[in-house]
Amino acid sequence: MPAAVAAALWRGDQLGAPVSAVWPSGFAALDAQLPGGGWPGHGLSEILTPHSGALEWRLLAPALRPICAAGQPVVVIGPPLSPHLPGLRFEGIDERQLVWVQADTPAERLWSAEQLIKAQACGALVAWLPRARAEQIRRLQVLAAGFDAPVFVCRPSRALSESSAAPLRVVASVGVNWELHVRIAKRKGPPLDDTLRLASVPGSLASVLPLRLRQPGRWMPREEIQQHVVDSPPAQPVRRHSSAH
């Protein structure tokens, strides 16, 4: 059969072969489980977390870093917390390439995401859509199929019980020792039963944490770890970016 047709076919017990570009996640263990070895273009990637606002940055920053370095804009729509620019700088994300679209209502967020995808207007898109309905996710997926860059939709973990047209769904949470616990709930390939444990000390803390706090699970009771280990530095007032400048 033609090579293009063969590339679009995959067996249910194998990871799907990429039919478009992929972007390395920055975590070797995660790339090994993602079809094509990274975050895909031409489709949605759902990021599901128990608490929105900080964990998504820790998971996505390593992939967004080279996009910014290439001079391409990263657009974020409706983040629940103000982007912490000093912390993002430590992660290698240049705020000059960060476009923050303030959209408060679900309709504004969906409209903004749709227009950016249609216009092929950025190097990566991250949209927080906590109340998106199944038909809205399906519409975004149809649009994203023609978009060359990665599109990330951030939703609460409880959305996992809802149907979704997104071809990739990833559930992330925080573990001890600054780990990210990542479960791939849906992918183009066989289900992944194991939870990936990814080392992920926030960039702003990597150079200042003493060794004993880099691996608190070795010496602190779990109750104390929950009190001392945080997802990110506290938010600071930042200069806001918008799509109209």
Q: Where are the beta strands (DSSP E) in 35-150?
A: 39-40, 44-49, 74-77, 98-101, 124-128
In sign, the C-alpha dihedral spanning 129, 86, 203, 219 is negative
Asked if pLDDT for residue 195 goes beyond 70, the answer is yes
pLDDT at position 3 is: 55
Closest CA to 185 of 197, 169, 164, 174: 169
Sorted by where each begins, the domain ranges of the chain are: 19-228
16-72 per-position pLDDT tens digit: 555 578 999 999 999 999 998 999 999 999 999 998 888 899 899 999 999 999 999
Give the pLDDT of residue 210: 57
Please work out, in degrees rounded to the nearest 5, the angle formed at the alpha carbon of residue 30 by the alpha carbons of 26 and 34.
110
Q: Which residues of 101-111 are buried (b: 16+ CB within 10 A; e: fewer)?
A: bbbeeeeebbe
Percent of the chain with pLDDT over 90: 57
Global confidence as pTM: 0.79
DSSP 217: G
How far from 60 is each of 23, 76, 218, CA to CA, in Å? 11, 12, 27
Task: Name the CATH superfamily for 19-228.
Answer: P-loop containing nucleotide triphosphate hydrolases (3.40.50.300)
Q: How confident is the model at residue 241 (pLDDT cuts 50, 70, 90)?
A: very low
Cα separation of 174 and 227, whole Å?
A: 13
Q: Which residue has the higher pLDDT, 152 or 17?
A: 152
Give the pLDDT band (50/70/90) at residue 157: very high
pLDDT digit string, tens, across residues 117-129? 999 999 999 999 9
Q: What is the mean pLDDT of residues 193-199?
A: 90
Contacts of 228 (CB under 8 A, 6+ apart): 213, 216, 220
Asked if pLDDT for residue 97 goes beyond 80, the answer is: yes
Which distant-in-sequence residues (6+ apart) come within 8 Å of 181 by Cβ?
Answer: 172, 173, 174, 175, 195, 196, 197, 198
